[in-house]
Amino acid sequence: KAGVTQTPRYLIKTRGQQVTLSCSPISGHRSVSWYQQTPGQGLQFLFEYFSETQRNKGNFPGRFSGRQFSNSRSEMNVSTLELGDSALYLCASSFTGPANEQFFGPGTRLTVL
């Protein structure tokens, strides 16, 4: 069974640009969560989707947005990139939500110059 896949694995952008990251969950999983990981802040929750509905959102500015498609694949978008957005962005999937085993992808490493 394939694991959670994230594309691209690495991205370099400049300030002011926007970026879209993609996540394909494990087959059968309908919940997808996104996290930002930085050395200073650790793992911070961004948002969680289930059946195309956002059920929770973390304390991030509106520049961070996401969506989920009918096949459970998810994307997150960051607009007007800032230097501080440089981070590892992790996607995790589970059958019904974080209250069950949640499996993480390898992450997308975003560098903002």
Partner 1 sequence: GESVGLHLPTLSVQEGDNSIINCAYSNSASDYFIWYKQESGKGPQFIIDIRSNMDKRQGQRVTVLLNKTVKHLSLQIAATQPGDSAVYFCAETGGGTYKYIFGTGTRLKVLA
Q: What does the binding site for partner 1 look like in residue numbers (CB under 8 A)?
A: 4, 31, 33, 35, 37, 39-40, 42-45, 48, 50, 55-56, 58, 88, 90, 92, 97-99, 101-107, 109
Query: Closest distance between partner 1 and the C-beta of residue 73, in Å?
Result: 17
Q: Distance between CA atoms of 80 and 16, rounded to whole angstroms?
A: 4
Report how far apart the first and last C-alpha atoms of the chain are (Å, whole number).
Answer: 37
Closest CA to 18 of 62, 107, 82, 88: 82
Query: Closest distance between partner 1 and the C-beta of residue 37, in Å?
Result: 7
Query: Closest distance between partner 1 and the C-beta of residue 95, in Å?
Result: 13
